[in-house]
């Protein structure tokens, strides 16, 4: 069963005169999941390793902006409406039950949505600081965000979500695939297979018009793609001025696969199988070099 954990009422107490207090936050997050603060701190510290980001310049201003922000109330109302009846919605649309927590919390810029396992429990973590920064506070955006993360949970609980290879190309293609699965699940719950919560200012029309170029560029980029230089996944990345283009490409990939594969089978396939399908999708030579 999906369990809702709403910490909205505790968030403003994590600030002192508008300044975020990390010590208070550690107590707050550990009260939700015992001993979990290091998970969030470690994720944040990964971004400091190469010197491109700093806590004071890049993270603290985003977190501080939450304090007494009127968007927080809008976000909270959207969250309450979006999770109302969520168990029934998932069951009706997917035919499956999901056993997971959905947690509305203040994070350390770990992401607007993050699926992980904490103390043996699957969790969808919704970081209010990133949701406000991205202006995803409205109901439509909240539906998209929650449904997308539940798509990852679906793959995790009924298939395999995490696979790794020593070949970085396969790892990024696997990310493309899993984000496509999550987007498809999101579209299924929304009831519209053309739906993208990212679609503002002509985003989807632009992606449709540049579909072949996106496929070609993603494939060419694979040879040198790293977490730091990739331009397809994450709100901080831009592909020709557009964000989240990898989510669009991944969804098109999954829709293409669904012409000849069942979703329930796809989410259990091995990485090499997905990589072969990807090569066919982009029109590249089939090879497991």
Average pLDDT, the chain: 94
Query: What's the pLDDT tens digit per position in 37-72?
Result: 999 999 999 888 878 889 999 999 999 999 999 999
How far apart are alpha carbons 200 and 203 in whole angstroms? 5
Instruction: List for the chain the helix, strand, coil content (%; round to 5).
Output: 55, 10, 35
Q: Which of 88-92, 136-140, 171-175, 234-238 shows the lowest per-residue confidence on average (mean pLDDT)?
A: 234-238
pLDDT of residue 289 exceeding 50: no
What is the rounded distance in angstroms from the CA atom of residue 148 to the CA atom of residue 188? 10
Locate 22 and state its tokens: 């990390």
Structure confidence by residue, pLDDT tens digits, 154-192: 999 999 999 999 999 999 999 999 999 999 999 999 999
Q: What is the pTM of this model?
A: 0.89
d(CA 260, CA 256): 8
Per-residue pLDDT, averaged over 257-279, amounts to 96
Decide: helix, strand or coil at residue 158.
Answer: helix
pLDDT of residue 285: 53
Q: Where are the domains of the chain?
A: 2-137, 168-282
């Amino acid at each position: 069963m999906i369990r809702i954990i709403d910490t909205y009422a505790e968030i403003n107490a994590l600030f002192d005169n508008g300044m975020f207090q990390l010590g208070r936050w550690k107590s707050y997050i550990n009260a939700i999941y015992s001993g979990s603060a290091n998970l969030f701190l470690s994720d944040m510290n990964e971004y400091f390793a190469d010197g491109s980001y700093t806590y004071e310049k890049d993270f603290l201003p985003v977190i501080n902006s939450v304090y007494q922000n009127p968007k927080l109330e809008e976000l909270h109302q959207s969250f309450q409406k979006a999770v109302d009846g969520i168990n029934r919605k998932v069951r009706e649309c997917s035919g499956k039950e999901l056993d997971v927590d959905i947690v509305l919390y203040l994070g350390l810029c770990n992401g607007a949505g993050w699926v992980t396992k904490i103390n043996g429990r699957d969790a969808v973590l919704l970081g209010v600081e990133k949701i406000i920064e991205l202006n995803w506070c409205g109901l439509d955006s909240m539906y998209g965000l929650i449904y997308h993360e539940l798509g990852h949970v679906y793959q995790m609980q009924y298939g395999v979500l995490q696979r790794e290879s020593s070949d970085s190309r396969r790892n990024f293609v696997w990310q493309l695939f899993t984000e496509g699965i999550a987007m498809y699940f999101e579209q299924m719950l929304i009831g519209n297979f053309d739906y993208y919560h990212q679609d503002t200012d002509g985003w989807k029309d632009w992606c449709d018009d540049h579909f072949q170029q996106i496929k070609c560029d993603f494939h060419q980029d694979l040879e040198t793609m790293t977490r730091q230089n990739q331009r397809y996944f994450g709100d901080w990345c831009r592909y020709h001025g557009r964000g989240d283009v990898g989510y669009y490409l991944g969804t098109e990939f999954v829709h293409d696969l669904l012409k000849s594969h069942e979703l329930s089978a796809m989410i259990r396939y091995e990485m090499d199988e997905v990589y072969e399908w990807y090569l066919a999708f982009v029109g590249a030579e089939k090879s497991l070099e």
